[in-house]
Amino acid sequence: MNLDDTKNAVATAPDYVLAIAPYQAGKPIEELAREFKLDPANIVKLASNENPLGLPESARRAIADVISGLGRYPDPNGFDLKAALSARYGVPADWITLGNGSNDLLELASLALLAPGAAAVYSQHAFAVYRLATQARGARHIVVPAHDYGHDLDRMYDAIDNDTRLVFIANPNNPTGTFLPAGQIEAFLARVHDRWGGKVTVLLDEAYNEYLDPEFRFDSARWVEQYSNLIVSRTFSKAYGLAGLRVGFAMAQPKLTDVLNRVRQPFNVNSLAQVAAIAALGDAAFLQQSYELNKTGKQTLIDGFTRLGLEFVPSYGNFVLVRVGDAASVNLELLKKGVIVRPVAGDGLPEWLRVSIGLPEENARFLDALTATLGSS
C-alpha cells in the first residue's frame, strides 16, 4: 500500500470512528524497563487490576493437557465451559455467551444493539470501554454525572430517552471501585423493564464480583431469569487469574443471547482459555485465596493512604483510587522508581491514581515509593 492508499483508507472511515480516543492500557513492564533503563525484575506493576497470584496451578495443568491439540480450531460454542457455567450459576447453557474477555461481550452488545441514531446511557467515571464501544457504533453518548464517584441510578433512569438501546452499569465500577447494593440494582431493573420493556437492554458488568465480601454478594443470575432485557457479564481475568488468556461470559435470556451470538466471531475464545476457565471455575481454594489476599492488601493500602493524609474512594474491587494532587508528576516519579500504577485523567479524574492491589511486598514497594515521592515534592 503506498501513502496515497493509506490516506484514502483513513478518509473512508466514518467520522465517529476517526473520533475514537484509543483505550489507554497499563504500561507493560518491558516498556518501562526500556524507557528508564530499569531491571524488569525490579519493576512492580499495579496498573491493570490483574491477580497478583498469577495463573492458578489448576489452570496451568489444564492448559498443558491440551497444547498438543492447538493445531485445531477451538470449540466454537464452548460446550464444556458453558456446561460448567450452567451448573455453577443455574442457568441453561443456551443463556450463556462466551467472550474473548468480558470486553468482547461489551462490544458484542454494542455491535448488536447500537447504531447511528441510537444512544447508550452510562455514568461519568464508568469503565472506559462503554465510551469506546458506543463511539465505535456511531451511537450517541448519554453520560450521567456520578454521585460520590459512583453510578447515580435515579439520574440514569431519567436520562433514558427514546433512542436509548443500551445502559451500561459496572458493579463494582472501575476505576472508582464504587458499589451499588442489590436492592438499588433490582429497583432500577424493575423500573427500566416496566417503562421500556425489551426496547432498552441493561448490561450489568460484574467483572469484580468475586472480590465482594460475602454480605454484598447477590445472585444476579436470578435477575436474568426475571428480566428479559438484562445481560450480566463476568470475567475470568480478575479473581480467577486468567487475564492473559482472555475469557469472560455473559448470561441473558435466549432471545438476547441469540442476538449477541449473531455478531460474535465463531472462534472468539481459544482452546487454552476454555480449558483454563473450567479448571479455574472448579478451583474454590484459589478463588478464596485471591479474595483474602485482596482484602488484606486493600487494608494495607488504605492504612498507607490514611498515614499520608490522602483521600481515597472506598473500593469494592481489587484496586483503590487515591487523590495525589498532580497525578501526572507523581506518576512519573513512581515510574522512575520502577512502580507502574494507572493515571486516570482520561476518566475525568486528573488528580487521582488507580492502584491495583498486589502481593504484600508489591504494596509495600508502592507505598514506600509514594511516600518518598510525596515527601520530596
Ligand X SMILES: Cc1ncc(COP(=O)(O)O)c(C=O)c1O
Which one of 56, 248, 304, 338 is in contact with ligand X (CB under 6 A)? 248
268 binds ligand X (CB under 6 A): no
- Cβ proximity to ligand X: between 78 and 248 the closer is 248
- Cβ proximity to ligand X: between 243 and 256 the closer is 243
Spatial distance between the Cα atoms of 167 and 174, rounded to a whole number of angstroms = 16
Angle at 18 between CA 1 and CA 98, to 5 degrees: 95
Q: At how many degrees (to 10) do helices 102-113 and 254-262 cross?
A: 90
Q: Cell 524507557 belongs to which residue?
A: 35
Spatial distance between the Cα atoms of 234 and 221, rounded to a whole number of angstroms = 11
Give the shortest CB-128-to-ligand X separation in angstroms: 9
- Cβ proximity to ligand X: between 58 and 237 the closer is 237
274 binds ligand X (CB under 6 A): no
Phi, psi of 343 (to 5 degrees): -70, 145
101 binds ligand X (CB under 6 A): yes
Spatial distance between the Cα atoms of 309 and 144, rounded to a whole number of angstroms = 30
**Do the beta carbons of residue 180 and residue 169 sit within 8 Å?**
yes
Give the shortest CB-51-to-ligand X separation in angstroms: 11
118 binds ligand X (CB under 6 A): no
- Cβ proximity to ligand X: between 205 and 347 the closer is 205
The H or E element spanning position 17 is helix 15-18
The 3-state secondary structure of 156-206, one letter per residue: HHHHCCCCEEEEEEECCCCCCCCCCCHHHHHHHHHHHHHHHHHHCEEEEEC
Residue nearest ligand X by beta-carbon distance: 101
Which one of 205, 210, 347, 362 is in contact with ligand X (CB under 6 A)? 205
179 binds ligand X (CB under 6 A): no
102 binds ligand X (CB under 6 A): yes
Q: Environment class of residue 339 by beta-carbon count within 10 Å: exposed (0-12), middle (13-18) or buried (19+)?
A: buried
Site for ligand X in 14-53 (CB under 6 A): 49
Site mask for ligand X (CB under 6 A), range 297-336, x = bound: ----------------------------------------
Give the shortest CB-49-to-ligand X separation in angstroms: 5
Size of the chain in residues:
377
Give the shortest CB-237-to-ligand X separation in angstroms: 3
Give the shortest CB-248-to-ligand X separation in angstroms: 4
Q: Three cell numbers at 83?
A: 456446561
Spatial distance between the Cα atoms of 276 and 143, rounded to a whole number of angstroms = 37
**Do the beta carbons of residue 44 and residue 338 sit within 8 Å?**
yes
Angle at 236 between CA 234 and CA 240, to 5 degrees: 125
Stretch that binds ligand X, among 21-29, 66-74, 99-107, 356-364 (CB under 6 A): 99-107
Which one of 174, 178, 290, 318 is in contact with ligand X (CB under 6 A)? 174
209 binds ligand X (CB under 6 A): no
123 binds ligand X (CB under 6 A): no
Phi, psi of 141 (to 5 degrees): -95, 130
**Do the beta carbons of residue 136 and residue 90 sit within 8 Å?**
no
Position 231: which residue type? I
Stretch that binds ligand X, among 50-58, 101-109, 139-147, 367-375 (CB under 6 A): 101-109
Give the shortest CB-3-to-ligand X separation in angstroms: 35
Give the shortest CB-220-to-ligand X separation in angstroms: 14
- Cβ proximity to ligand X: between 125 and 165 the closer is 125
Spatial distance between the Cα atoms of 122 and 150, rounded to a whole number of angstroms = 11
356 binds ligand X (CB under 6 A): no
235 binds ligand X (CB under 6 A): yes
210 binds ligand X (CB under 6 A): no
**Binding-site ranges for ligand X (CB under 6 A):** 49, 101-103, 127, 170, 174, 205, 207, 235, 237, 243, 248
